Amino acid sequence: MTFTGQAYALGAGTVINAIATWKGAAFGVDLKTFADVELTKESSSFIGTIEGVPQGDTTLIERSMELVLEHFGIEMGGTVVTRSEVPLASGLKSSSAAANATILATLDALGETLEPLDAVNMGVRAAKDAGVTITGAFDDACASFFGGIVVTDNRKNELVKRTEKEMDVVIFAPDRQSFSSQTNVHNSELLAPWVDMAYDLALEGEYEKAMTLNGFLYCGALGFSTDIMMEALKCGVKGVSLSGTGPAYSALVDRKMADTLTKVWGDLGTSGKVINTKINNDGLTKP
């Protein structure tokens, strides 16, 4: 007998990267990662597939499925297939989205539920176990799960603040990948006093100022160009940042500004794609 389940979770953009201080902020975007799970009592193994990425590392989604079954004391195996609108390894929280979607799809297959924050923390644990994150990415996981803008303390796994905001999001995703696990942590930690300033701005609701400060800091620490950010500022954009550990950049804008920035970034001549989306305030369920 087999049990099947489906679910999705959101991609997200960065306001504050938590690597320097373990305190972060992020916003859910209207790009989704989908998971299809099939469980069976005929096997004890876990097999993951990332659609379109035949050689992709599936440890995270396999571990996410395994943790759900362990939680309920169920001895089964299964398969999980994920497909995503979120560019992978670009700083747009594809790992958090994949973990959340897999956990929810596994719960759906079992006919079980978890408290929202328990599900988020399970995904954070899976990410740590799989070695795809440095801080556990609790901020990214919360943005992916709850939508809106979240401010978190990743060391305490505490959701400090959540705000809903109607804004468009423009993303520039270069044609290369950057994995969080390979980030220069030492350089990032040197930024701590200034990242704290950005975090305080986020707590005050000054999200655009916070993310722009965050972007210049982390571009410097991680060796990314600030040219893309500067082009956005020249257009009048107030909030633009390197997303996560890159290489993607994201900007919070109004509808009119979105069209302008989409054209400007599209004309840069840099290999990549411009994605026009918005903050998703609905999330998967409320915290």
Find out whether 258 is annotated in a ligand binding site. no
Find out whether 96 is annotated in a ligand binding site. yes
List, as one string, the DSSP characters of 253-267: E-HHHHHHHHHHHHT
Q: Where are the beta strands (DSSP E) in the chain?
A: 2-16, 23-40, 46-50, 77-84, 149-153, 158-163, 168-174, 239-242, 249-253, 272-278
Instruction: Look at residues 102, 42, 104 and name the one whose alpha carbon lies nearest to residue 75.
Output: 42
Q: How far is it, in rounded angstroms, from Cα 235 to Cα 286? A: 35
Find out whether 92 is annotated in a ligand binding site. yes
Q: How far is it, in rounded angstroms, from Cα 169 to Cα 7? A: 23
Upper half-sphere CA count for residue 222 (Cβ side, 13 Å):
30
Find out whether 144 is annotated in a ligand binding site. no
Q: How far is it, in rounded angstroms, from Cα 218 to Cα 244? A: 9
Find out whether 143 is annotated in a ligand binding site. no
Q: How far is it, in rounded angstroms, from Cα 78 to Cα 97? A: 20
Find out whether 11 is annotated in a ligand binding site. no
Find out whether 35 is annotated in a ligand binding site. no
In the sheet with 168-174, reading across from the earlier edge strand, the strands are: 239-242, 249-253, 168-174, 272-278
Find out whether 97 is annotated in a ligand binding site. yes
Find out whether 89 is annotated in a ligand binding site. yes
Region at 79 (left for phi over 0; alpha for psi -120 to 50; beta for the rest) = beta
Residues 253, 56 contacting (CB under 8 angstroms): no
List, as one string, the DSSP characters of 101-123: HHHHHHHHHHT----HHHHHHHH
Instruction: Look at residues 247, 269, 252 and name the one whose alpha carbon lies nearest to residue 172.
Output: 247
Find out whether 178 is annotated in a ligand binding site. no
Find out whether 87 is annotated in a ligand binding site. yes
Give the residue numbers of the binding site: 87-97
- Where is the binding site for ATP, in residues? 87-97
